[in-house]
Structure 1
Amino acid sequence: MPFELPELYINPQFSWGPPEEELKLDDGAPFELYSKTDPLEALDWFTYKREADASDSDSDAEAVAANKGKVFKQVEDNARLNALRTEREKAVMFNPRNNGARNAKMAAGKKGGKDNRNNNQRRNRRKVTELPNTYNASAMAVVQHVMKQTDMTKLRMDALPKVVELGLYGTPPLYNTGIESATCARPLPLDESKYDEDYFMRGLTTEDPELRKIMGEAQRHPLVVVTDEILSLLMVCTRSSYPWHIRVLNYNNIWILVKGEESNIEKQWVSETAGHEIRPSEGADNRAERISSLGEESTKVYDCFARASCSKSFAQVKTNRSPFSRKQPRMYSYRRYIMHDGTPDRYDIVARCEVDALMPRTNDRVRCFALLEQCVVSEKDSSWRREGLLKNAASFLPIEYAHNGCKIARWTALSLLSDAKLMKIGFVTCEEKMEKGQRVFNHKQHEVLSVQTYSPASLATQFGIDVSNMWAIVDHIMRPFIEGHSICPSILMKPGDKSELVVVEEEDDDDDSEEDDLDEDGDDGDDGDDKDDE
């Protein structure tokens, strides 16, 4: 049977839509098609919605009435609850770490919860005994100023200080390029036997004849006199965690920063900014692994490496006579830093900066530093020999910056203060010796594994060391003294148990001795009266 198309409906003229007999709904009700020319009638949507809600509520009421006999009741069944708890405990046994979704809702202390695991980690955490404070102020000491270390990290200066070279002193040696031949396979032994501590001792600010000469001149602006050893520590004090203190003296609008006895200013700490598991402890069983022992060892290595980096020849440059005799040969650069130049808040900082050596031919200034490895008994071999320097010497310093951030930042500040073009950083470790068939570390003899060369400016950029922040910290510390809010003599100290700097009034030892003498005299007087009574 052939397929035939249905007959097409053709609308009459001026009409549209289906034929009239089809304009009906299923129930037979007629409807009309809407035309664009037909006006729309307004609808009361609110009334329509209210009527619809009323009809829905009536239907809900009917449903509730119909289901009155089907209401659920809560039944307490302890047996079922206990069975549920037992099932959950069994699930915890097969999932010790309890990584399930319900762990977030588990109460602290429940078996298998993450809170309980973290508590165990804290309980088993390694104890680190810190160093005692270098200056112990009495309860009667007046606290003049307190500065939070976290607040000083946000400081910035609008403009860096202007630098004026005041003079060069001392005979600078030439840099010993032969020390750079050290490798992990063929390390160079570090000579530490023929030098005493006094040979490397830096002269105090008050004992420097050139600084005393500058202080004797008439000053138009407030003056701060300091050495680069102290100034660099102030610049990076936000990174330091071990205790230290500085004496602040005042004389005729001149503020003098002096290194006190046993103030830890010269210490080259090991792993000061390391994590809790790596950081050394003062309570370690092995005396050589304590904080103080590692600090003394690292400081000696630091000085001996600087001496080994200098050759026996001297550079041919015009300088004045060295202010210190029988000390390590080096060049001293006396520099004036003008703070807030051109403003009423101007004051000057005169610093004695050190230059370890000069490069042959170019006479570029060089600062030499030694980074000592933290050798522990638990390790059978030096990790620097085995992993770090041997495989990835170029990127090794950024890794060590996490453990020694304060020290490396201070070295960068020292190099920038002395206008050194190059930084020579030597990686030094302990020599290994055999005792009773076992390999142990000899903390009295050291070897140079490698020497890397860096630019101070590029190193500061790489590690995010903001020079503007360093000078802003110095300005923030010295501003209370210059404005008269802090009275001298005083002590600027970094407590070991707090993240802050404290300025306290320096106590006079003579007053204590006089009080003791008065007490003794009073006791003698009482004895005499007793004898008279007898």
Structure 2
Amino acid sequence: MASFSLPTIHDNPDGSWGPSSSNLPDTFKFKDIPYAPYSKSDKLGRFADWNDISGDNRQASSGAAANPRAGARGRRDGPQTFGSGIPSAFSFQVEDESSFSLVDNKTGAPRRGNASTRGRGAGRGSASYGTRAPQRGSRGGFTSNRGTGMRGARRGWRDWEKNNRTRESSVAIGPSWQMLEEIEFHRLTKLRLEVDEPEELESYGRLYPYNKAYDRITTKTERPLQTVDRIRYNTTTSDDPIIQQLASRGVAAIYATDVILSVLMCAPRSVYPWDIVIVREGDKVFFDKRDGGPFDTVTVNENAADPPQDPAASNPSNPNEKAPEPPSINTATSLSLEATYINQNFGFQSVIESATPPAVDFDKPNPFYGPDETEPLASCGYRYRVFDLGITEDEDIKMCVRTEVDAYLPGQGDPLQGQGLTTIRALNEFDPRASGAGGAPDWRSKLDSQRGAVVATEMKNNSCKLAKWTVQSILAGAEQMKIGYVSRANPRDNTRHVILSTASMRPLDFAAQLNVSLANGWGIVRTVADLCLKMPEGKYVLIKDPNKVRLPPCFLICVAAAGALRATC
């Protein structure tokens, strides 16, 4: 009769996986082979042919390369070899890694020169020498060898450290302050609120006509940027006498300026820190800015992959620390002051202050110009407009905003009726080869022939700044935007500039190109307004956290003591 005998099971009393060596018989042929632990995180360095008794396993096929990071030159900067971190019989040395060769299974003529690949295909960091034909990468598309040589191979070096630089907050948070709310940006991007056309209450100031000769400037007919002495006011919300009058009449529940409101509406694009002072008085809320704060200057390449940086502050308590280097003209602070100077003077210079065409006076004169002032006023018009933020007809949440326009276009209609109004801004170029330039092309050689490439680069590097300018123009009801391209006369001199060109665009069309959603911006404003209206009377600070780069950035609504905020200005 047929029978079947069960095999002997070697039990392991200590509970670990596998049989214990003490339970194995002496005749067990695998007794002396140790067990090598294996983890899913270990990388397979090479495939070995265990059937090859000659021991020569030095050739690997192209599908199982010895090391995906080791090219023909035998670089050893790849991942750790499988089992090399565990002292066992499976740990083998890789000193002779340079002797491994790759078997090329491609057909056709051999390639000239050497090539080192990194990862799959000819991705970032690949270098190719001596070939000019484009090659197809592993994920499709063609990658040209031009620009991927020695200079291209360094592009993207240590990218993970560039965004980890610590930035100081725009306002020093006192120890007695209390954080009330924290709002993450990724939640704000999902908000939507459609707002109807605003109601204009009053208008103040005087507008000069725009000089259309600046639209015909090219790089071959550049004009020097002049320093024009004019007075331009940037008063905060609470100090505006017109807003105080409107608040006493109760025309709205929330009051702000277009500069502050545009920062709030474009908050998800911002990188640099900023803060808004929120004052709750009775049933009214005022959004204010600090004098000398981030709202008074213009940023440069804020959204670039490697934006301009300020030098690290020296430690006075360390006597062995090297003396700080002289300040550079290409730091973030220096470029911001330079861009503010350019932006103001370009607006002053590009208008006609002669009798023809005549200037246009709004209903009332400039409310900030006192009788003691002697310098002439700049061309500026203030339009106080009310926006209805109510979602339903029963809600009565209105916001009064002071908006500004810079000039009017002759022959485009009556400026008093809101026709032909324009805003004037300026982009600046400092040095395409300097750190923080963001890969911008040389304007003098590309602005006339490849304007699209210049505009696309500026839209990438200055996304937040252009979005704020566009939102300000839409809030003011301007029909056009004039953006000048101003560059240094010498890249090493930040005091002399030239105007290379001027572009005209419609704010709504430009907002679509920038992917700016006004409905999302109004949704952010309404969310912050609801939080402020629920709080008791007092002074609050809305702070943009400057150091949450990897994590979603957020707002911090803090409460400050009565005199604490002024002490930090």
Would you say same fold, with TM above 0.5? yes
1:300 alignment partner in structure 2: 341
Check conservation: 2:444, 2:500, Cα contact below 8 A.
no
Do residues 212 (structure 1) and 244 (structure 2) align? Answer: yes
Do residues 366 (structure 1) and 339 (structure 2) align? Answer: no
2:276 alignment partner in structure 1: 246
Check conservation: 1:428, 1:450, Cα contact below 8 A.
yes
Q: 1:213 to 1:107 in 2, by over 3 A?
A: farther
Q: Of 193, 210, 225, which aligns to 1:175? A: 210
Cα distance in 1 for partners of 2:428, 2:168 equals 23
Check conservation: 2:422, 2:482, Cα contact below 8 A.
yes
Q: 1:78 to 1:298 in 2, by over 3 A?
A: farther
Do residues 146 (structure 1) and 187 (structure 2) align? Answer: no
Do residues 267 (structure 1) and 297 (structure 2) align? Answer: yes
1:430 alignment partner in structure 2: 488
Residues 71-470 of structure 1: matches in 2 within 5 Å? 83-84=56-57, 94-95=71-72, 123=158, 127=162, 129=165, 131-157=167-193, 159-192=194-227, 194-195=228-229, 199-218=231-250, 223-276=253-306, 279-283=307-311, 287-313=328-354, 314-316=358-360, 318-325=362-369, 326=373, 327-340=377-390, 342-362=392-412, 363=415, 364-375=420-431, 378=434, 383-394=441-452, 396-432=454-490, 440-470=491-521
Cα distance in 2 for partners of 1:124, 1:471 equals 35
Q: 1:227 to 1:81 in 2, by over 3 A?
A: farther
Cα distance in 2 for partners of 1:142, 1:371 equals 39
2:141 alignment partner in structure 1: none
Cα distance in 1 for partners of 2:565, 2:208 equals 48
Check conservation: 2:255, 2:287, Cα contact below 8 A.
yes
Cα distance in 2 for partners of 1:469, 1:448 equals 35
Q: 1:512 to 1:290 in 2, by over 3 A?
A: closer
Identity of aligned residues (%): 22
Cα distance in 2 for partners of 1:400, 1:107 equals 50
Cα distance in 2 for partners of 1:215, 1:333 equals 16
Q: 1:171 to 1:459 in 2, by over 3 A?
A: same
Structure with higher Rg: it is 1
Match of 2:170, SS?
coil
2:135 alignment partner in structure 1: none
Cα distance in 1 for partners of 2:190, 2:83 equals 39
Q: 1:509 to 1:96 in 2, by over 3 A?
A: farther
Matching residue's letter, 2:560: E
1:180-218 deviation digits (Å, cap 9, x = unpaired) = 2321112111112x437xx33412212222111101114
1:114-154 deviation digits (Å, cap 9, x = unpaired) = 58x99x96648675755421112133311011111122112
2:559 alignment partner in structure 1: 505
Check conservation: 1:333, 1:352, Cα contact below 8 A.
yes
Post-superposition offset of 1:383: 3.8
Check conservation: 1:489, 1:506, Cα contact below 8 A.
yes
Cα distance in 2 for partners of 1:370, 1:288 equals 19
Post-superposition offset of 1:455: 0.4
Match of 1:216, SS?
helix
Match of 1:311, SS?
coil
Cα distance in 2 for partners of 1:493, 1:349 equals 21
Q: 1:105 to 1:511 in 2, by over 3 A?
A: closer
Q: 1:461 to 1:96 in 2, by over 3 A?
A: farther
Q: 1:84 to 1:187 in 2, by over 3 A?
A: same
Matching residue's letter, 2:385: R
Check conservation: 1:289, 1:376, Cα contact below 8 A.
no
Q: 1:269 to 1:130 in 2, by over 3 A?
A: farther
Q: 1:270 to 1:512 in 2, by over 3 A?
A: closer
For structure 1, which segment, 104-113 or 378-387, has the greater mean C-alpha deviation from structure 2 after superposition? 104-113
Q: Give the structure with the higher percent helix.
A: 1
Check conservation: 1:315, 1:360, Cα contact below 8 A.
no
Check conservation: 1:176, 1:310, Cα contact below 8 A.
yes
Match of 2:295, SS?
coil
Match of 2:352, SS?
strand
1:234-289 deviation digits (Å, cap 9, x = unpaired) = 1101100101111111122111111113320122111111113xx21112866211
Post-superposition offset of 1:95: 3.6
Cα distance in 2 for partners of 1:262, 1:374 equals 23
Cα distance in 1 for partners of 2:277, 2:495 equals 33
Matching residue's letter, 1:204: T
Matching residue's letter, 1:321: P
Cα distance in 1 for partners of 2:564, 2:72 equals 69
Post-superposition offset of 1:107: 9.1
Cα distance in 1 for partners of 2:51, 2:311 equals 54
Post-superposition offset of 1:105: 9.7
1:43-82 deviation digits (Å, cap 9, x = unpaired) = xxxxxxxxxxxxxxxxxxxxxxxxxxxxxx9898899797
Match of 2:214, SS?
helix
Q: Of 479, 494, 513, which aligns to 2:530? A: 479
Q: 1:174 to 1:126 in 2, by over 3 A?
A: same
What is the total number of aligned residue pairs between the two structures? 421
1:385-404 deviation digits (Å, cap 9, x = unpaired) = 34430312255323310110
Post-superposition offset of 1:175: 0.8
Q: 1:375 to 1:201 in 2, by over 3 A?
A: farther
Cα distance in 2 for partners of 1:394, 1:127 equals 28
Check conservation: 1:134, 1:262, Cα contact below 8 A.
no
Matching residue's letter, 2:424: C
Cα distance in 1 for partners of 2:184, 2:440 equals 38
Gaps of 5+ in 2: 1-28, 34-49, 86-93, 98-115, 126-153, 313-324
Cα distance in 1 for partners of 2:159, 2:299 equals 26
Provide the TM-score with structure 1 as the length reference: 0.70
Gaps of 5+ in 1: 1-72, 433-439, 514-534
Check conservation: 1:332, 1:352, Cα contact below 8 A.
yes
Post-superposition offset of 1:344: 3.5
Q: 1:92 to 1:345 in 2, by over 3 A?
A: closer
